[in-house]
Amino acid sequence: MDRMKNAGVISIGNELLSGRVVNTNSTYISQFLKQYGISVNFIITIGDDKSAIIQAIDACRLHADLIFITGGLGPTHDDITKTTIAEYFNSKLVFHEDILNDIRDLFRRRGKVMSESNVSQAMIPDKAQIIPNPVGTAQGMKFQQKDKTFYVMPGVPIEMERILIDSVSIDMEQLSEARINTLTIHTTGVPESELYGKIENWISIQKQIGISILPHFTHIDLVLYSGDTDSLTLLDIAKRQLAEKLGEIVYGYDDETLEMDVANLLIDKKMTIAVAESCTGGLITDRLTNVSGSSAYFILGVVTYSNESKVLLINVNPETLKRYGAVSSETAKEMALGVRKLSGCDIGLSSTGIAGPPGGSDEKPVGLVHVGLSMSGFLESFEFRFLQDRIMNKQLFSQMALNQLRLTLLRE
């Protein structure tokens, strides 16, 4: 087989140039192609404009083997993409009765009547191979010109994704010499430099595995990839080696979230949990209940925003609040203990801090949080300091609370 094919993406739509819509489709296409070892060389974003579309296709033909074109196929776009492309490939639009029936059917199943403007969506260039769109009215199209292949798809993300997964994947499988396998390792709680220090030597001796370090706002991912014929075995070995080097800072792999890892630990240990939140305002319980089946371990959450509710509902001592303040290690511990007692759960978790923007002082600045944790025979609090804005602080605080819960459960 020849050298690996490469790709170019053309994203069409005025909304992408005006800044109203972020171009996530091109990101999706890049990720989709990466698993087949096909790399995207460039992405060109243009408006619904005939001459711009033609110029972009001309430029792409010079620099890529596979050209992915998205957008401008809806009935409200005056079919600018489809008529332009038909012209570009010296093709004429032909009416397809069966496609119109499919479209009419789609409307019927949604309990709606098809509008006349949808008839144009049954017109397809005669030189195009139709790529079925099972979830929308605009069909995908494929054009072959010498050694260049053009895929034309609607811009609605869910429709484009289905066309890629259901149909384009079959072509890509054939092109791909070896499928690229990837493994994402999620870590939290240590900065990038410290993470890197732990695996620097390991990275330097890798030959068959590529590695990216991707810092996110609340966590850092390691992405490993390999196109080797043995890549699954290689990634599995790497996973075990890295798990050993990184230890408890790893909380999950691929699609797993921190809250899923916490859920699994709680289910394994047959433990139930209740949460008392102040500064995080419900975000910890929101995250815990994002996991399907969370009612197995999550019993009760309280957001005791005022001092009064801390006293009345979860039995925080008014003296503690007076002496140490609501944002203190002491209050965090009493909140955790109080909500555990109230709920009868095995674990009580709490947060109290200053999300900002107002409310900070020299001693207790914005970004300070105390996390409390109570279990049978165990009562601790943990302090963290950040420097972000209100919404970011809530995210970081909830991450620290869930991570501290995870670490404590691991060590128990």
Is residue 8 within 8 A of residue 68, CB to CB? The reply is yes
- Nearest-angstrom CA–CA distance, 327 and 334: 12
- Nearest-angstrom CA–CA distance, 58 and 67: 11
Give the DSSP H or E segment for 124. Answer: strand 123-125
Give phi and psi for 387, each to the nearest 5: -135, 30
Residues that bind its own copies (CB under 8 A): 16-24, 26-32, 34, 39-47, 52, 55-56, 59, 63, 212, 214, 223, 275, 277, 280-286, 288-290, 292-295, 298-306, 308-309, 313, 342-343, 356-358, 390-391, 394
Q: Which two tokens stand for residue 35?
A: 């698993």
Angle between helices 50-63 and 80-88 in degrees, nearest 10: 50
Give the CA count within 13 Å in the CB-facing half-sphere of 265.
22
Distance (Å) of CA 277 to CA 215, 267, 274: 27, 22, 10
Choice between 42 and 202, CB closer to its own copies: 42
Is residue 85 within 8 A of residue 125, CB to CB? The reply is yes
Smallest separation (angstroms) from its own copies to the CB of 57: 13
Handedness of CA 310, 314, 315, 316 (dihedral sign): negative
Maximum separation of any 2 CA atoms in the chain, in Å: 83
Distance (Å) of CA 215 to CA 204, 242, 394: 20, 17, 19
Smallest separation (angstroms) from its own copies to the CB of 143: 22
Is residue 370 within 8 A of residue 320, CB to CB? The reply is no
Smallest separation (angstroms) from its own copies to the CB of 104: 19
Q: Tokens 């080797």 label which residue?
A: 228
For the chain, the first-to-last Cα distance in angstroms comes to 55
